[in-house]
C-alpha cells in the first residue's frame, strides 16, 4: 500500500470513529443566570420523571464530555439528566473578570443557579476533575441537605502537589497567551486525559472545544483547593471513581478523599486514565445507575 493509500485509509478510520455530537438532541436547552448575571448554557436529557443527575465537567471541557452518558439508552430511560458548560467554557458566558473564576463562592452560586433553573429537588451531583472542586465549592456554601448523593470522578480537590500526575492543565504552555504554544500544549493535555488513545478525529474535536477557553480565563481558574472541612461534613452517599492509570490526578488523591469522607465508597478502574466515563462507559453508567438507586 502506497503513502496515499495509507493516508486515505487513516482518514476513513478517523471519519468512522468521530463522535457525532449532532446525532442526539437534548429534551430542552435553557439558560441559568448566576447572581452575578453570568448566563450558563444548560441542557436536559433523558426521562423527565426519573431521578435527577447533574453532570459537571472539567477544566477546558464542556457538557459534551458526558456524551456517552446522556446518549446511553439505559440511563436515558431511567434518569433525568442535566449537563451545562462552566463559565468561560462552551456556550456559557465568558466574562473578562478574574473574580468570576478565582473565587469558589461564584462557582457555588453558579451550581445553585443551575439546580434552581432545572427545577431539581434532590439531585445526584457527578463532578469530573475540576468539576469535583465546583461540587466542593457548593458544599462549602450550601451544604449537602438539598442533594441526594455525590459521585467524584478523577477527584481534583486538593492543592497538594504530591497528588498531581506527570501531566497538568496548569502548565506554562496550557496557560500561555501565545496561541501556537497554547494549541500545542492544550492538545497534549487533552490527549493525556485518556489511557486508551482517542482517534485523531475525536482529539481534533476535543482540542477545538478546549480552545474555546481563553488563556486569561485558564490562568484565573488556577486557584488553590482547600476543601478538607467540606469533605468531612458530607453525610449523603458518595462514590469515588478513579482510573488507576490517571496521569492528571494520581490515585492517591482518590484514596485521600475516601479517608476523609465518612460514607464514601470506591470504584477504581484498571487500564483506564483520567476520563473514566469516556474510556469505560458501560461499566461507569451501570455503576452510576446502581449507586443512584441505592442512594434513593
Residues 10-46: pLDDT tens digits? 433 444 457 899 899 999 999 999 999 999 999 999 9
Cα–Cα distance measured from residue 78 to residue 110, given in angstroms and rounded to the nearest whole number:
26
Q: What is the pLDDT of residue 262?
A: 85
Long-range (24+ apart) CB contacts under 8 A made by 113-117 are 113/32, 113/33, 113/34, 113/35, 113/40, 114/32, 114/40, 114/42, 114/54, 114/82, 114/84, 115/54, 115/146, 116/32, 117/30, 117/31, 117/32, 117/33, 117/42
Q: Is 270 helix (H, G, I), strand (E, B) or coil?
A: coil
Give all domains of the chain, ordered by start, each with its CATH number: 23-164+224-295 (3.40.50.1820)
Break the chain down into helix, strand, coil percent, rounded to 5.
Answer: 45, 20, 40
Q: What is the pLDDT of residue 17?
A: 55
List the chain residues with pLDDT less than 50: 1-16
Residue whose C-alpha cell reads 475540576 in the numeric block = 130
Residue whose C-alpha cell reads 478525529 in the numeric block = 201
Say if residues 52 and 288 touch (Cβ distance below 8 Å).
Answer: no
Residues 183-207: pLDDT tens digits? 999 999 999 999 999 999 999 999 9
- Phi/psi at 234 (5° precision): -65, 130
Q: What is the pLDDT of residue 169?
A: 76
> Could you tell me which of 8, 207, 227, 14 has the C-alpha nearest to residue 108?
227
Q: What is the pLDDT of residue 16?
A: 46
Q: What is the pLDDT of residue 6?
A: 44
- Which grid cell sits at 235? 453525610
Give the gyration radius of the chain's Cα atoms. Answer: 18
pTM: 0.93
> Could you tell me which of 237, 277, 290 has the C-alpha nearest to residue 128?
277
Amino acid at each position: 500500500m502506497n503513502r496515499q493509500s495509507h493516508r486515505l485509509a487513516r482518514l476513513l478510520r478517523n471519519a468512522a470513529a468521530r463522535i457525532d455530537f449532532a446525532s442526539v438532541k437534548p429534551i430542552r436547552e435553557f439558560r441559568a443566570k448566576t447572581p452575578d448575571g453570568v448566563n450558563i448554557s444548560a441542557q436536559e436529557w433523558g426521562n423527565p420523571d426519573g431521578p435527577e443527575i447533574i453532570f459537571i465537567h472539567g477544566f477546558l471541557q464542556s457538557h459534551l464530555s458526558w456524551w456517552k452518558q446522556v446518549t446511553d439508552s439505559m440511563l436515558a430511560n431511567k434518569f433525568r439528566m442535566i449537563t451545562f458548560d462552566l463559565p468561560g467554557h462552551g456556550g456559557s458566558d465568558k466574562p473578562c473578570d478574574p473574580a468570576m473564576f478565582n473565587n469558589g463562592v461564584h462557582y457555588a452560586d453558579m451550581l445553585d443557579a443551575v439546580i434552581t433553573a432545572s427545577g431539581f429537588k434532590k439531585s445526584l451531583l457527578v463532578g469530573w476533575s475540576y468539576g469535583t472542586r465546583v461540587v466542593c465549592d457548593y458544599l462549602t456554601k450550601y451544604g449537602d441537605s438539598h442533594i441526594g448523593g455525590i459521585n467524584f470522578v478523577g477527584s481534583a480537590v486538593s492543592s497538594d502537589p504530591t497528588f498531581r500526575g506527570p501531566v497538568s492543565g496548569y502548565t506554562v504552555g496550557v496557560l500561555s497567551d501565545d496561541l501556537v504554544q497554547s494549541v500545542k500544549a492544550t492538545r497534549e493535555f487533552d490527549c493525556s486525559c485518556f489511557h486508551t488513545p482517542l482517534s485523531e478525529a475525536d482529539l481534533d474535536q476535543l482540542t477545538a472545544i478546549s480552545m474555546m477557553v481563553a488563556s486569561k480565563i485558564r490562568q484565573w481558574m488556577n486557584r488553590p483547593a482547600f476543601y478538607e472541612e467540606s469533605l468531612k461534613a458530607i453525610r449523603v452517599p458518595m462514590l469515588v471513581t478513579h482510573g488507576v492509570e490517571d496521569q492528571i490526578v494520581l490515585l492517591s488523591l482518590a484514596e485521600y478523599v475516601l479517608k476523609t469522607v465518612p460514607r464514601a465508597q470506591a470504584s477504581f478502574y484498571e487500564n483506564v486514565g483520567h476520563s473514566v466515563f469516556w474510556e469505560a462507559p458501560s461499566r461507569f453508567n451501570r455503576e452510576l445507575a446502581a449507586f443512584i438507586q441505592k442512594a434513593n
